[in-house]
A and B are shown apart, each in its own frame.
Chain A
């Protein structure tokens, strides 16, 4: 039969043509519905909780309402029963669609290489945690609101040649890392906080809403209600993990726009630690020895990595990426590692598993339980990395955002992150807040290796596509 031959030939068409059918470009539109609703019930609930009525248009009563709410993909749940074919296929299909985005984003490697040392150095005796993915998405949205040299500087830092490439990269990262299948929770969210009665370029807002899954809110800048609403949104998206930091978040009367992005990540170890094997041991912090609880497990099929000044090992996360522990050699500090090209290559490469210096070994892991968090002001670091114009009202170009005011500038880039690990797995959360203000306001027998993390170290949590979700420096535990 000749149609057989046609059928066989179709089976041999170019692989890239077949691969791209896994992407659901058309479906994204249905996944991400922007609902323009003024006001919505949820915001009313917040208003009532604070005993304030909505008074849209009234000069005496603060206002706050949602203009557009992003609707996030409904990810099929991991099948409870492997024999439930329908559920298994639905899950498998959704995960394959997600996997089609793996490795598609470009520029994140150079962004990580530049920003990790800049933002994490000089932790001194404290801990610092940073989510490159979260900051990347916030700066990508900022790039959308700017033009000219202001935008170019941000694009350079993000490693994208133009705004279209940035949109593709951000979209690929978003889709590769958004998951909520009941096994892995990796939730990304973003939002724009606008000033009531101010004129914005609606095309720009629409592009941001569609490309970055951003919700939009409007309200009276500087009002308690609007600030509480922003804090509530940040808390909701980060599972309340950063409430110590969000309670101080504020937009002031001169704020024209606040951009907020969040990530919440939760995954279990592939091999959970047994609490009965925990030990009390010494962690050699810079300020002195601390006795703390260590979790212990051995893995015969593990891979041990090393470089001139460090060693590293990872613990796999179920149906997700991994957590990497990067331990400086005994006479080396974490700050030295942060300036070590080899370490930065190890951190930023997508092919960490292909690292040259590695061997299979029976690794005896001894990892301190920790819960670390930090809040960073990123402005100085961004300036050091060449992003300057957006902070200068006389040099900045925010014309894609609005033409109503021309002396706009970024007055705050705040980033808070927290990562906690225990016997079951990893939980992490982060937010980035960018405030735009107007100037008028302001096989052989395995070798055995003891991998004892008993001195200051670095860690990185990677998503399934290899993207670094969180990276941190730990000097204090317990």
Chain B
């Protein structure tokens, strides 16, 4: 099958042409499904989140015009899947790599302030982007594969050809650095 250029797909969304959904599914279906499954560990749930992603994109474009369609869609899938996971795990614990990574991230939360002082998520995202740019590309990539894509340690090792201990150590050091950075910036989550 022929994969359309992203610009072409975005143009279809803008023209309100329903082929936009078909083309998006053809090109990025597996990508979105992989992200959703990584979070939910359930085939049916992942499929529903994938479909919700297309609907969300349909409702968002226009007026939004994605700069990178893949990451734009992945971000939607990630958010929708995490929401679903939270609903599902409200009753019981579990939830695979996403929940594991959530526990790991608790290490990065500065202590001592009340929720009233909490920073807005978008501002926090900007600060984390700035923080990631202070790291080497390899460190930043390992961090995002773990906490953006929820890849398992094993998957990260395979992707980059590293050993388990290197990946684990890099993640631990990066979490420590992030905590230090957030403290230094006087950020309270």
Footprint of B on A, CB under 8 Å?
Answer: 1-21, 24-27, 29-30, 88-89, 92-93, 96, 270, 316-319, 322, 351, 353-354, 443, 464, 466
> Judging by beta carbons under 8 Å apart, are A5 and B124 in contact?
yes
B88 is an interface residue with CB less than 8 A from chain A:
no
Collect the chain B residues with CB atoms within 8 Å of residue A93's CB: 34
Collect the chain A residues with CB atoms within 8 Å of residue B5's CB: 351, 353-354, 466
> Judging by beta carbons under 8 Å apart, are B148 and A92 in contact?
no
Select A5's contact among B78, B129, B189, beta carbons within 8 Å.
B189
Residue of chain B at shortest CB distance from A322: B2
> Judging by beta carbons under 8 Å apart, are B102 and A11 in contact?
no
B55 is an interface residue with CB less than 8 A from chain A:
no
Are A6 and B105 also in contact (CB < 8 A) when A13-B125, A17-B140 are?
A: yes
Residue of chain B at shortest CB distance from A17: B132
> Judging by beta carbons under 8 Å apart, are A4 and B148 in contact?
no
- 11 residue pairs of the A-B complex, CB under 8 angstroms, read A2-B189, A3-B103, A7-B98, A10-B147, A11-B75, A12-B125, A15-B67, A21-B149, A27-B160, A29-B161, A353-B8
Collect the chain B residues with CB atoms within 8 Å of residue A354's CB: 5, 7-8
Select A9's contact among B2, B72, B124, B140, beta carbons within 8 Å.
B124
Collect the chain A residues with CB atoms within 8 Å of residue B162's CB: 26
Select B4's contact among A7, A10, A30, A353, beta carbons within 8 Å.
A353
Collect the chain A residues with CB atoms within 8 Å of residue B79's CB: 8, 11
> Judging by beta carbons under 8 Å apart, are A12 and B102 in contact?
no
Collect the chain B residues with CB atoms within 8 Å of residue A30's CB: 161
Are A270 and B2 also in contact (CB < 8 A) when A10-B147, A21-B149 are?
A: yes
- In the assembled complex, the CB of B166 is this many whole angstroms from the nearest CB of chain A, namely 10
Q: List B17-62 residues whose CB lies under 8 Å from chain A.
A: 17, 30-31, 34
Collect the chain A residues with CB atoms within 8 Å of residue B149's CB: 21
18 new A-B pairs (CB below 8 Å) besides A3-B189, A13-B132, A26-B162? A2-B118, A2-B189, A3-B105, A5-B121, A5-B124, A6-B108, A7-B102, A11-B82, A11-B148, A12-B75, A12-B122, A16-B68, A29-B161, A96-B31, A270-B2, A316-B2, A354-B8, A466-B5
> Judging by beta carbons under 8 Å apart, are B108 and A21 in contact?
no
Q: How many A-B residue pairs have CB under 8 A?
A: 132
Instruction: Compute how far the CA of A214 lies from the CA of B122 in the bound complex, rounded to whole angstroms.
Output: 46
Residue of chain B at shortest CB distance from A95: B30
Q: C-beta contact mask, B110-126 vs A, less than 8 Å → 1, else 0?
A: 00000000100110110
Instruction: Compute how far the CA of A3 lies from the CA of B179 in the bound complex, rounded to whole angstroms.
Output: 12
> Judging by beta carbons under 8 Å apart, are B128 and A13 in contact?
yes
Collect the chain B residues with CB atoms within 8 Å of residue A6's CB: 105, 108-109, 124, 189
Instruction: Compute how far the CA of A78 lies from the CA of B68 in the bound complex, rounded to whole angstroms.
Output: 26
Instruction: Compute how far the CA of A353 lies from the CA of B74 in the bound complex, rounded to whole angstroms.
Output: 25
B152 is an interface residue with CB less than 8 A from chain A:
no
> Judging by beta carbons under 8 Å apart, are A21 and B101 in contact?
no
> Judging by beta carbons under 8 Å apart, are A15 and B121 in contact?
no
Residue of chain B at shortest CB distance from A301: B19
B70 is an interface residue with CB less than 8 A from chain A:
yes
Collect the chain A residues with CB atoms within 8 Å of residue B145's CB: 21
Instruction: Compute how far the CA of A34 lies from the CA of B1 in the bound complex, rounded to whole angstroms.
Output: 35
Are A21 and B109 also in contact (CB < 8 A) when A13-B129, A92-B34 are?
A: no
> Judging by beta carbons under 8 Å apart, are A19 and B71 in contact?
yes
Residue of chain A at shortest CB distance from B178: A6
> Judging by beta carbons under 8 Å apart, are B78 and A11 in contact?
yes
Collect the chain A residues with CB atoms within 8 Å of residue B82's CB: 7-8, 11
Are A1 and B129 also in contact (CB < 8 A) when A11-B82, A15-B71, A89-B34 are?
A: no
Are A3 and B109 also in contact (CB < 8 A) when A10-B128, A17-B132 are?
A: yes
Instruction: Compute how far the CA of A2 lies from the CA of B7 in the bound complex, rounded to whole angstroms.
Output: 37
Instruction: Compute how far the CA of A93 lies from the CA of B122 in the bound complex, rounded to whole angstroms.
Output: 29
Select B137's contact among A5, A9, A20, A318, beta carbons within 8 Å.
A20
Instruction: Compute how far the CA of A88 lies from the CA of B34 in the bound complex, rounded to whole angstroms.
Output: 10
B106 is an interface residue with CB less than 8 A from chain A:
yes
> Judging by beta carbons under 8 Å apart, are A18 and B74 in contact?
yes
Instruction: Compute how far the CA of A403 lies from the CA of B124 in the bound complex, rounded to whole angstroms.
Output: 56
Residue of chain B at shortest CB distance from A18: B71
